[in-house]
């Protein structure tokens, strides 16, 4: 009867001890998980701040590049416009001089023929010049559109790659930390059980 009572008491004590150990381990595990979550949250906030700073820097760089590109395009357009104006003024001046000379030196019939011929030549030159200007403007516009699309695509790709890399790093760190915690608790549990068995 005493042996049975001792065994029963031992079993009850063992159950109580295991419950107490489990409660302690549960509390420690909850505390550790809270600490890990806090660290992960801090890292996430830091990553978001870095992302915002990186986006701002990229925006500034792209803005500078865009301003430089616009300046270059405006300079080219201004040079072309000045050349066109000078060409028009020169053509007008030459036309006036030739007209005066022709009026003085040539008869009315030759003057009419010459005026027709000049009109045809000027029309052809004007058509060619308009075609060239339209071609240049179209090329510039296509280049601007391609530059904007390329800048947007690069920004999107960089953002996606950065998010993926941060997620992978956080996942690896979390897995390693959880494994370490579980290993430590498992070792403690084994030691406690061995200690109980030895006692």
Q: What is the pLDDT tens value at each position of the chain, 199 positions in all?
A: 556 677 777 778 788 888 888 888 888 888 888 888 888 888 888 778 888 888 888 888 899 889 898 888 899 888 888 888 999 888 888 888 888 877 787 778 877 887 888 889 989 999 999 889 999 999 899 889 999 888 898 888 888 888 888 888 888 888 888 888 888 888 888 888 877 777 6
Q: How would DSSP label each residue in the chain?
A: -HHHHHHHHHHHHHHHHHHHHHHHHHHHHHHHHHHHHHHHHHHHHHHHHHHHHHHHHHHHHHHHHHHHHHHHHHHHHHHHHHHHHHHHHHHHHHHHHHHHHHHHHS-HHHHHHHHHHHHHHHHHHHHHHHHHHHHHHHHHHHHHHHHHHHHHHHHHHHHHHHHHHHHHHHHHHHHHHHHHHHHHHHHHHHHHHHHHHH-
């Amino acid at each position: 009867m005493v042996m049975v009572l001792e065994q029963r008491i031992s079993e009850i004590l063992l159950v109580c001890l295991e419950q107490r150990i489990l409660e302690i381990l549960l509390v420690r595990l909850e505390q550790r998980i809270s600490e890990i979550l806090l660290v992960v949250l801090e890292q996430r906030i830091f990553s978001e701040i870095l992302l915002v700073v990186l986006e701002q820097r990229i925006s500034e760089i792209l803005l500078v590049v865009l301003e430089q590109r616009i300046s270059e395009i405006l300079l080219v357009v201004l040079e072309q416009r000045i050349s066109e104006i000078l060409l028009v003024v020169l053509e007008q001046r030459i036309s006036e001089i030739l007209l005066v000379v022709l009026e003085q030196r040539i008869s009315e019939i030759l003057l009419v023929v010459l005026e027709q011929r000049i009109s045809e030549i000027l029309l052809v030159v004007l058509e060619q010049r308009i075609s060239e200007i339209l071609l240049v403007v179209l090329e510039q516009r296509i280049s601007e559109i391609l530059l904007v699309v390329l800048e947007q695509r690069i920004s999107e790709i960089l953002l996606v790659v950065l998010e993926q890399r941060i997620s992978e790093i956080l996942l690896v760190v979390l897995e390693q930390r959880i494994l370490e915690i579980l290993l430590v608790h498992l070792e403690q549990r084994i030691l406690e059980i061995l200690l109980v068995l030895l006692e």
